[in-house]
Amino acid sequence: MCEKRRCAWAGDLPIYIDYHDNEWGRPVHDDRKLFEMLVLEGMQAGLNWITVLKKREAFREAFDGFDPGKVALYGEEKIRELLANEGIIRNRLKVNAAVTNAKAFLDVQDKHGSFDKFIWAYVDHTPVRNHWKKMEEIPATTPLSDRISKDLKKLGFKFVGSTIVYAFMQATGMVNDHVTDCFVYQEMKA
């Protein structure tokens, strides 16, 4: 039996391999999962993704399963509790952004019916299929991530710069940035 070919970034850590094989680049249409990825991508800013992955379960517990309705109600007492939680990334700006983003997320849901409908409209509800042969070809931002970032900021979202937005798009399958010889790219092509 031959080993599956993966994107080089997946490396050999089981947590990374599992994330690569089962999540990254696979289309997400569940609003709670989309909110989770938006918060986690914002938390990752300036850090390695492995740091976030290792703390993911602690984040889920600390942030009420990433229920935007609950997170939107967090006050100063809950924020202090989060900032004391050693299991998560304890950055006041990022924690405050999660609360702000929950409120903006709920506004988008009210206006568009779901965050899924809103965000996936940017790609006509169909994943953008890129054809990268090497990891070095994959951009950190695109004109589309620039536009989405600008629009999200206008709606009141924080920690949604173009790089974070593009990482969110990759993670939630809005774009397929698996390299062409990766088995996931081949699965997603079918």
Active site positions, annotated: 19, 41, 49
Please name the amino acid found at residue 111: K
- Do 179 and 135 contact (CB within 8 A), yes or no? yes
3-state secondary structure of 175: strand
How many Å apart are CA 58 and CA 107, to the nearest integer? 26
Please name the amino acid found at residue 161: G
3-state secondary structure of 156: coil
How many Å apart are CA 19 and CA 125, to the nearest integer? 23
- Do 114 and 167 contact (CB within 8 A), yes or no? no
How many Å apart are CA 167 and CA 173, to the nearest integer? 10
DSSP class of 7: -
